[in-house]
């Protein structure tokens, strides 16, 4: 059975979690109020901030919502030579924005265990995760607390592993998707199968419900994903220009420009975080050729990205967006959800 239907959603569309700003409590609540399911991208939030964001959602709506976290990555070894190369590439951008020389912080990312404990306390209707497998004991703990669980797969093998772990649903992330690649095979970042092809491949190897993700920007796209075997869909890029989204002003301007041009040039890059992610191509992507491994590079570039957003400089921002970014709508979350909803489910 459809996971979103189990949650009481009226439409088979989830607003995908977009960590780092776009997925605000206001956006999550607005999507829920309109009949879908909103998702908080909580990976970069401190445990206290994550708990506060969940409380904010609940203050705005009684609709079910989801929380997403990144499965922790082993701390990478950063050699002095690698750090020197990475900081040299960032130096001119720091100078341009009047920042001190780039330097690695002591801690690269938030502590997953503490974030996970918040999720267990808050008990969102759905918990999704990416970048790997969640220990079975944690899957069981969530389910015992009444929380449905969905993992992210980029190929059929990853989907089989998630099914073995007992997840309630599998998010099939196609090559068209914006943001970080969520897989862990094929060199640690999964594969690049197109969304509909991936949905069919996963549906052929497991009976776990599939949530399609990647390049879904219209009701016709959603209908095609459901016809391919998905029971629900997750749309991220489609909501980036929602009025309730936390997308920064320069990020919005870049998306508007792509929409006016009728074409969005996206690329996969490791420049910002050290892990492959799809976004609108910009100067930083083209300049960085020696990023540190994830999450070290993500921590190294964070001050630059923060300053770039404040200065309105889209050239240094991680403008995560999928291949369909030129079709993005600027409207309320409810209006965008309506534009994504097929008149009826296929079959």
- Which DSSP string do the residues of 64-102 spell out, in sequence order? -EEEEEEPP-PPPP--HHHHHHHHHHHHHHHHHTTPPPP
Residue range 131-157, pLDDT digits in tens: 999 999 999 999 999 999 999 999 999
Measured CA to CA in angstroms, residue 108 lies from 44, 112, 262, 294 at distances of: 10, 12, 38, 9
Which of the 8 DSSP states describes residue 10? S
Domain spans, the chain: 3-73+109-246+327-340, 74-108+265-320
- Mean pLDDT across the chain, nearest whole number? 97
pLDDT of residue 347: 53
pLDDT of residue 189: 86
Query: pTM score, two decimals?
Result: 0.97
Homologous superfamily, domain 3-73+109-246+327-340: Aldolase class I (3.20.20.70)
167: confidence class by pLDDT, cuts 50, 70, 90? very high
Q: Is the pLDDT of residue 229 over 60?
A: yes
Which of 100-109, 194-203, 338-347 is least confident? 338-347
Q: Is the pLDDT of residue 345 over 70?
A: no
pLDDT of residue 343: 84
pLDDT of residue 346: 58
pLDDT of residue 108: 94
Which of the 8 DSSP states describes residue 187? T
Q: Is the pLDDT of residue 187 over 90?
A: no
């Amino acid at each position: 059975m459809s996971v979103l239907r189990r949650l009481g959603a009226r439409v088979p569309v989830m607003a995908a979690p977009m960590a780092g700003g776009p997925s605000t409590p206001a956006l999550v609540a607005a999507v829920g109020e309109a009949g879908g399911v909103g998702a908080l991208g909580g990976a970069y939030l401190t445990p206290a901030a994550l708990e506060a964001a969940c409380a904010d959602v609940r203050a705005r709506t009684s609709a079910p919502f989801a929380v997403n976290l990144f499965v922790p990555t082993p701390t990478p070894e950063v050699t002095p030579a690698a750090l020197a190369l990475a900081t040299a590439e960032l130096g001119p951008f720091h100078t341009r924005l009047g920042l001190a020389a780039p330097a690695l912080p002591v801690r690269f990312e938030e502590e997953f265990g503490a974030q996970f404990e918040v999720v267990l306390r808050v008990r969102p209707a759905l918990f999704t995760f990416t970048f790997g497998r969640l220990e079975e004991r944690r899957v069981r703990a969530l389910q015992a607390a009444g929380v449905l669980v969905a993992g992210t797969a980029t190929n059929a093998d990853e989907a089989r592993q998630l099914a073995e772990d007992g997840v309630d649903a599998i998010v099939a992330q196609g090559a068209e998707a914006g943001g970080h690649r969520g897989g862990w095979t094929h060199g640690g970042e999964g594969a690049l199968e197109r969304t509909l092809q991936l949905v069919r491949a996963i549906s052929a190897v497991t009976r776990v419900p599939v949530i399609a993700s990647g390049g879904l920007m219209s009701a016709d796209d959603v209908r095609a994903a459901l016809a391919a075997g998905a029971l629900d869909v997750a749309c991220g890029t489609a909501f980036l220009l929602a009025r309730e989204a936390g997308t920064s002003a320069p990020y919005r301007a870049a998306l508007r420009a792509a929409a006016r041009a009728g074409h969005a040039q996206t690329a996969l890059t490791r420049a910002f975080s050290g892990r492959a992610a799809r976004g609108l191509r910009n100067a930083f992507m083209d300049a960085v050729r020696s990023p540190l491994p994830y999450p070290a590079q993500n921590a190294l570039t964070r001050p630059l990205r923060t300053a770039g957003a404040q200065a309105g400089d889209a050239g240094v921002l991680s403008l995560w967006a999928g291949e369909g970014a030129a079709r993005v709508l600027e409207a309320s979350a409810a209006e965008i959800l309506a534009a994504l909803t097929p008149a009826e489910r296929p079959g």
